[in-house]
Amino acid sequence: MVKVVVGLQWGDEGKGKLIDFLCRDMDIVARFQGGANAGHTVVWQGNEIAFHHIPSGIIHNHITGILGPGMVVDIPVLLDEIRYLKELGISVDGRLKIDWRTHVVRADHKEEDAKDKLVGTTKRGIGPAYRDKYGRKGLRIVDIFYPQYVDHLPKELLDHYIKYHDALSPYVCDTVQLLHDAINEGKSILAEGAQGTFLDVGFGTYPYVTASHTIAGGACIGLGISPKAITEVIGVFKAYTTRVGNGPLPTELEPELESSLRERGKEYGATTRRPRRCGWLDLYWLKFAVKLNGVDKLAITKLDVLTGLPEIKVAIGYKEELPFITDDAHPIYVSLKGWNTDIRGVKRYSELPLNAKRYLKFIEDTLEVPIKWISTGPERDAIILR
Ligand code: GDP
Ligand code: IMO
Ligand code: MG
């Protein structure tokens, strides 16, 4: 059984929180794309842990965590992340696996990315690392272990990375074989998407996107599993919209409301601490995201953040019919009534105020997919399971 969890907006939908919840019943959690540009937060024993490379489900002791071949890994940053988790009491020894084929984000990739002005990247070297992968001059983990077989890179470059050989060796293996064996044994695997649908390099708001395929199809490419192996796609979205970095956000709020929502939702990047831009929920493009990913079930997060708003708007279409997302298009909004009862931490659907239920129903009716999880706070147990 392979479930794929993907973000349906511009990242930071609360994937980490949901994945941590779902991993109670999983055996393996695997990241399939991206690298340290991701920041997946889990609130655990009073600590707000932001996972960058390591899949967030690793918090559970019984879980095996995989860094799949579709990722790009910054080795010193990953080693720091392993140490940081250990300090918190989460040992990944024997449970963390990195695929041989995974590409390396090199120091020069980060230097180059630091000069980016157009996209507003996380400066983690992601774009240059993927460019070199596809340009057939990337450095892979396997190259560090078998340098004598490498004929596409200068020796000095390899020499620089050989120093990581010993630190990496406990973790490196063939994760493709591991996953195929696990599938055959009937184990439960969760593929953890990073970023979100509209940051996908092919289907997002190009060029204001990341450099990998973030959509559910990316899980096959990024893990080396067949599309036939995927049994369920879970789409995560925030009750409103946020985006960090540059690029269009047609439902963006006017400054005053935007900053009040940002403060209430603590909308600051988990990786870069940049303030996130905030907008109303965009059901028109969310519906497209549902289609692209083949979403079977939805999870909505941060519903609690909308409490207190007298009116909540949702975009259901655009005045101009354009085949891409642009700030030049004018959203057509439907206005729904808000609620005042504090719902933070609510665990039962029946305890939600009527207008919150109406908001959820409107979303379900429009997207034609059931909302199975409703997150009502950052804490692990602040979730309604329907
Ligand atoms: P991810 O990248 O998709 O994993 O999301 P991030 O971790 O970057 O951002 C989500 C933020 O919202 C984190 O700080 C979470 O702790 C927090 N969060 C997640 N779910 C909820 C929720 O239902 N309510 C509130 N108030 N915060 C949430
Ligand atoms: P998680 O997994 C939100 C954005 C950057 C920039 C664009 C390209 O936490 O949801 P990159 O560094 O990838 O080349 O930047 O993508 N971005 C994210 N935004 N959440 C993320 O990850 C992101 N990863 C990249 O802000 O606009
Ligand atoms: Mg994030």
Instruction: List CB contacts of 184: < 8 A, sequence separation 6 or more.
Output: none
From edge to edge, which strands make up the β-sheet containing 189-192? 172-173, 96-99, 64-67, 28-31, 189-192, 2-7, 230-238, 297-301, 371-375, 383-385
CA 304 / ligand 3 centre spacing (Å): 18
Token pair belonging to 338: 């808000």
Candidate of 5, 9, 15, 17 to mutate for ligand 1, largest count of ligand atoms within 8 Å of Cβ = 17
* Sign (positive or negative) of CA dihedral 87, 89, 94, 95: negative
As for ligand 1, residues whose beta carbon falls within 6 Å of it are 7, 11-17, 39-41, 43, 266, 270, 301-302, 304-305, 375-378
**What is the average pLDDT across 135-150?**
98
Measured distance CA(276)–CA(283) in Å, rounded:
20
Decide whether any atom of ligand 2 lies within 6 Å of the 38 Cβ: yes
Res 124 pLDDT > 90: yes
In this structure, the residue with its CA closest to atom 6 of ligand 1 is 12
| Spatial distance between the Cα atoms of 281 and 356, rounded to a whole number of angstroms | 14
**Cα–Cα distance list, 163 to 159, 255, 375 (Å):** 8, 49, 43
Report the atom number in ligand 1 closest to the C-alpha of 382.
23
| Other Cβ atoms closer than 10 A to 127 | 24
For residue 232, pLDDT over 90 is answered with: yes
Average pLDDT, the chain: 97
Hey, whose CA ends up nearest to atom 19 of ligand 2?
11
pLDDT tens-digit map of 161-194: 999 999 999 999 999 999 999 999 999 999 999 9
Instruction: Return d(Cα 322, Cα 336) in angstroms, integer.
Output: 26
Instruction: Single out the catalytic residue among 20, 40, 113, 296.
Output: 40
Query: For a pocket test of ligand 2, which of 19, 71, 121 has the largest count of ligand atoms closer than 8 A to its C-beta?
Result: 121
Residue 195 · residue 126 · CB < 8 Å: no
User: CA 13, CA 56: separation in Å to the nearest integer?
Assistant: 14
160 in active site: no
Which phi and psi angles does 365 have, rounded to 5°? -65, -40
State if residue 37 touches ligand 2 by the CB under 6 angstroms criterion.
Answer: yes
**Cβ–Cβ under 8 Å, residues 198 and 289:** yes
> What pLDDT score was predicted for residue 55?
98
Q: Please give the pLDDT value at position 311.
A: 97
Rg (the chain; Cα; Å): 21
Residue 220 has pLDDT above 90, yes or no: yes
Domains of the chain: 2-235 (3.40.440.10), 236-385 (3.90.170.10)
- What is the pLDDT, as a whole number, of residue 116? 97
- At residue 271, the pLDDT reads 83
Ligand 1, atom 9, lies closest to the CA of 12
The question of whether 40 is a catalytic residue gets the answer yes
**Mean pLDDT, range 306-317, rounded to an integer:** 98
State CA 179 to chain mean position distance.
20
Return the structure tokens found at 58. 């690793």
Whole-number pLDDT of residue 270:
82
Q: How far apart are CA 78 and CA 53, in angstroms?
A: 6
Whether 9 contacts 209, CB under 8 Å: no
Give the tens place of pLDDT for each residue, 352-380: 999 999 999 999 999 999 999 999 999 99
Supply φ then ψ for residue 191, to 5 degrees: -90, 120
Q: Does residue 272 surpass a pLDDT of 90?
A: no
What is residue 71's predicted lDDT score, i.e. its pLDDT?
99
Nearest protein CA to atom 14 of ligand 1, as residue = 41
Categorise residue 34: left if φ over 0, alpha if ψ from -120 to 50, beta otherwise. left
Query: What tens digit of pLDDT does each residue of 286-297 get?
Result: 999 999 999 999
The Cα–Cα gap between 274 and 35 comes to 18
Question: Residue 236 — pLDDT band, cuts 50, 70, 90?
Answer: very high
User: At residue 315, does pLDDT exceed 90?
Assistant: yes
pTM assigned to the model: 0.98
